[in-house]
Amino acid sequence: MKNNKCVTMNFIYGDFKLREIKVGYAPIKQPIFDQEWAEDMYQRSNKLLSSLKGVKIIRPEGTVTTEEDAQKAGELFHKEDVDLVLMESINSDSGILATIMGQKASVPIILWSTPEPIEDGKSLKANSLCGAMIIAGTLRRLNLKYKHIEGYPEDLEFQKKLKDSINVLGSIAALRESKLGLVGYVAPGFHHASFDEILVRKTFGVQIHHVDLSEVFSEAEALTKDEIDKEIDEMKKRGKIAEGVTEEDFKKTASITLALEKIVKKYGITALAVKCFPEFQDLFKFAPCAVLGRCNDKGIMTACEGDMIGTLTMVLENYLTGNLVFFTDIIDMNDKTNIGIVWHCGQGVTSLAEDPESVTYKPNFLFNLGLTTELACKPGPVTVARISERENTYRVYAFEGEAVKVDAVLRGAQMNVKFDQPIEKIREIIFEDGVENHFAVVHGRIGKKLREFAKWFGIESVIM
């Protein structure tokens, strides 16, 4: 897989913007079997590909039949810097065409075969599946990464599989182009959240950019009153104000939020992990909990306590779904109800609130400095996930479930999740494997996508 320079993302999934995913389409057609069938399948496949959103299809001229065709297609894919190659076995292939294109493009490959149309007393029309087996055996020996899918272009289930796989590979490409900002470092005592920067780079291709807290404070102090007042107005539109909250609390929240936003733009940073204590409290007389929630509301995935791998997990979930992400602890797991409470002290994402009218800014109850943004999160299907750093590798954990209505709301931001699998089993895995306490929660069941993500990198996954 490629390791490209950092760029500004612009794909399109729902309202979420990332760059277009470049797909090199390699329609392999041989003269051995039914050519009328092959041409029809080629046209039907092109019709499907042209309908995909957020995807740019890079096409060679016509089908790939000769070695010369394959050479030209491979050069085109390399020149256009495609994120993946969709290699369709329209009919049987010897493997040499796949070899030429696969080695030249040097990107992950989705290998597509179609079912054989069986007609009594008739000859084979396509032999697509066998051709795909030939290609798969060839790619494996060449050590080229691939995934096989099968189905007709009009099959809705196949379309979903294709779109999901393109989404995963596009997210991987985007991740490799991402620059994550580490503001300060890991919070004191949070050894479990420490990370190997070179391992992150080597495994995922992600760049880490270090930001000193002094730069954040300097940017905050340089802001104009108009900039700060505008941000305060926007914040107040999104929540009620509890007793004890001061204008100074809003001023500091707004100024740190804007400072982080300026730093993100200045360095081309995608997301942030912020060391939220003790320097903020000692030097700025402030706790930035509400700041982190505000950054997430703005689409800047932000984790607290300097948890860089937590941030990485948030970015991945965001890319896979286009949804905002809630960075949490799991604070309770009830065996009788099979409900777990995911919670954090006050970095609530107002866009995720079940009832926008109930969002409340309150005095920070942990540090007695600054604000918390407090709310209960909206219901719906969710995935609670964590990329966990192991010994010189990673493992992906994902637990699917349904966010349900929160009856007893704790101080802070909260979501109650009724898990699909027995919570006793989930708890056992977390503790036996020593999984870190921070999880990223996103609306949508994406366990299959996370499993596929892990497979492309050759790392283990635990998906439940």
What stretches in the chain show pLDDT beneath 70?
Answer: 1-18
Helix axes 308-321, 447-457, angle to 10 degrees: 120
Distance of CA 43 to the CA centre of its chain: 33
Q: Distances from the Cα of 94 to the Cαs of 131, 179, 270, 290, in angstroms?
A: 7, 41, 43, 60
Q: Do residues 24 and 82 make contact, with C-beta atoms less than 8 angstroms apart?
A: yes
Global confidence as pTM: 0.94
Scanning the structure block, which residue is given the tokens 């997301």? 271
Element (H, E) at 326: strand 325-334
- CA–CA separation, 50 and 38 (whole Å): 18
Residues with Cβ < 8 Å from 105, sequence gap 6 or more? 24, 74, 77, 78, 82, 85
- CA–CA separation, 231 and 260 (whole Å): 13
Q: Where are the alpha helices (DSSP H) in 237-307?
A: 247-267, 279-284, 289-297
Strand-pairing partners, residue 210, are 182
Predicted pLDDT at 17: 52
* Strand ranges (E), 116-156: 146-150
Q: Distances from the Cα of 355 to the Cαs of 236, 237, 359, in angstroms?
A: 16, 14, 7
Q: Where are the alpha helices (DSSP H) in 178-212?
A: 197-204
Greatest Cα pair distance in the chain: 84
Please state whether beta strands 146-150 and 84-89 pair in parallel, antiparallel, or not at all (unpaired). unpaired
Residues with Cβ < 8 Å from 403, sequence gap 6 or more? 377, 378, 379, 380, 381, 382, 415, 416, 417, 418, 441, 443
Q: Do residues 410 and 398 make contact, with C-beta atoms less than 8 angstroms apart?
A: no
Calculate ∠ Cα 126-132-133, nearest 5°.
120
Residues with Cβ < 8 Å from 246, sequence gap 6 or more? none
Predicted pLDDT at 14: 35
- CA–CA separation, 280 and 288 (whole Å): 7
Q: Do residues 149 and 163 make contact, with C-beta atoms less than 8 angstroms apart?
A: no
pLDDT, tens only, 255-310: 999 999 999 999 999 999 999 999 999 998 999 999 999 999 999 999 999 999 99
Strand-pairing partners, residue 274, are 183
Q: For domain 179-463, give the CATH superfamily.
A: L-fucose Isomerase; Chain A, domain 2 (3.40.275.10)
Burial (0-12, 13-18, 19+ Cβ within 10 Å), 464 = middle
- Amino acid letter at 201? R
Element (H, E) at 88: strand 84-89
Predicted pLDDT at 77: 98
- CA–CA separation, 10 and 12 (whole Å): 6
- CA–CA separation, 74 and 98 (whole Å): 9
Q: Distances from the Cα of 104 to the Cαs of 72, 98, 141, 295, in angstroms?
A: 10, 10, 16, 41
Element (H, E) at 343: strand 339-344
Q: Is 179-463 in the same CATH topology as 11-176?
A: no
Strand-pairing partners, residue 347, are 373
Residue ranges covered by each domain of the chain: 11-176, 179-463
The neighbour count for residue 223, using CB atoms within 10 Å, is: 17
- CA–CA separation, 416 and 406 (whole Å): 6
The neighbour count for residue 57, using CB atoms within 10 Å, is: 16
**Fold classified for 11-176:** Rossmann fold (3.40.50)
- CA–CA separation, 414 and 201 (whole Å): 33
Phi, psi of 247 (to 5 degrees): -65, -30
Q: Is the dihedral of CA 52, 55, 59, 63 positive or negative?
A: negative
- CA–CA separation, 376 and 63 (whole Å): 54
- CA–CA separation, 88 and 49 (whole Å): 12
- CA–CA separation, 114 and 198 (whole Å): 42
Three-class DSSP category at 148? strand
Q: Do residues 269 and 298 make contact, with C-beta atoms less than 8 angstroms apart?
A: no
